[in-house]
Amino acid sequence: MHTDVAIIGGGPAGLQAALTLGRIHRDAVLFDDGTYRNATVSHMHNVVAHDGTPPEEFRGHARKQLTAYDTVTVREERVDTIEQVDGVFHLRVADGSTATAYALILATGVRDGLPPVPGLDELWGDLVAHCPFCHGHELSGQRVGILGAAVAPHLSALLGPVASELVVLADGEDLPDEWHPGPVVRTERVVSVERHDGGVRVALEGADGDQVHEQVAGLFVKPALRQSAPFADQLGLELNPSGCVRVDEFARSSRERVFCAGDMAHLAAYPMPMASVVMAAASGQLAASAATMALLARP
Ligand SMILES: Cc1cc2nc3c(=O)[nH]c(=O)nc-3n(C[C@H](O)[C@H](O)[C@H](O)COP(=O)(O)OP(=O)(O)OC[C@H]3O[C@@H](n4cnc5c(N)ncnc54)[C@H](O)[C@@H]3O)c2cc1C
């Protein structure tokens, strides 16, 4: 199979890129192995005209609309490796097939590494989240927890107007010197979290070994981001200090005809990806427009 543009990723970035290429009648194949960053989320927020829409409904709708465009194909497959031979990108697909492409749009997203507290994984995307813009409003007027001393000043400032009370769970770490916390601060080690009474019950262990509990409506953490897919490595793409691929204003990576979109990439001027559904879709459109320009310049 040969295509003009291979898009790897079927989240908002890849889906928008496919739509944009379909609209301009360019051949594109989108690969999607079904591992979305917001897979555990029941409703997404801060998405204009889709505030509160379940993510799978959003993706399903986008996929259905793509069927109107004959030049776009969607394959529910994992791509394992990509290499460039004589200027052409060769993709090895998990089902054993191969595909070639003139240009690539990588939209493979990132994975979240959570602090190693038992119980966090089970509540992730539901009662435990990282983004006050996405999850804050639903906790309006309630007691909200923040896990981690280093992130406490920033998250407290954002959540202050939303929550009735903030509880910082410092987990044995020192709070930043210059910060004078307004919220309640618990210095004990965090032992575990669990769903309780519609919220989160946090078990803490003091220096004397005694356990105490804090009950909060929801808990915010700062995950460590890592690439979902190995392609930045395989293609030797330049990275930002965040670990995300460095792109320019036209979604171009450091390798010609490799464009990147969504959470996996950002401009050098940003400290991290501006990770949201709208931003991912916008960068997918930009990447597809830039890929189209590369096709026009093809000898
Ligand atoms: C808990 C949580 C809640 C969130 N809530 C919100 C919210 O309410 N509102 C909001 O705007 N944003 C929210 N976000 C952020 C939002 O989910 C992301 O910014 C957005 O999904 C990024 O889109 P993307 O297309 O870059 O990546 P993703 O949506 O993660 O999609 C990545 C795609 O790449 C595919 N893929 C990866 N590797 C391969 C491979 N080797 N082969 C084939 N396919 C591959 C995956 O299958 C998937 O299709 C939330 C994030 C988290 C973690």
| The residue type at 247 | V
Range of the domain at 182: 115-220
pLDDT value of residue 121: 96
Q: Per residue in 93-118, pLDDT tens?
A: 999 999 999 999 999 999 999 999 99
Residue 34 sits in the same domain as residue 101 = yes
Structure tokens at 255: 């390798």
The ligand 1 atom nearest the CA atom of 264: 26
Confirm or reject: Cβ of 275 under 6 Å from ligand 1. yes
Asked whether residue 46 falls in the same domain as residue 105, the answer is: yes
Domain check: are 213 and 227 in the same one? no
Ligand 1 atom with the smallest distance to the CA of 134 is 8
Query: Strand, coil or helix: what is 127?
Result: coil
Average pLDDT (78-87) is 97
Q: Are residues 92 and 231 in the same domain?
A: yes
Q: What is the CATH number of the domain that holds 35?
A: 3.50.50.60
Q: What is the tally of structural domains in the chain?
A: 2
Domain boundary among 163, 191, 220: 220
The protein residue whose alpha carbon is closest to atom 42 in ligand 1 is 78
Cα–Cα distance between 206 and 58 in angstroms, integer? 45
Distances (CA, A) of 215 to 193, 236, 249: 10, 46, 45
Which pLDDT tens digit goes with each residue over 116-158?
999 999 999 999 999 999 999 999 999 999 999 999 999 999 9
Are residues 131 and 213 located together in one domain of the fold? yes
Regarding whether 275 and 204 lie in a shared domain, the answer is no
> Could you tell me the two tokens for 11?
């989240």
Task: Give the residue-averaged pLDDT of 226-237.
Answer: 98
Same structural domain, 216 and 261 = no
Domain boundary among 220, 236, 269: 220
Given this model, what pLDDT does residue 182 score?
79
* Cα–Cα distance measured from residue 105 to residue 99, given in angstroms and rounded to the nearest whole number: 14
User: pLDDT at position 299, please?
Assistant: 83
- Domain endpoint, select from 191, 220, 249: 220
The pLDDT of residue 168 is 96
pTM, whole model, 2 decimals?
Answer: 0.96
79 CA distance to ligand 1 middle (Å): 17
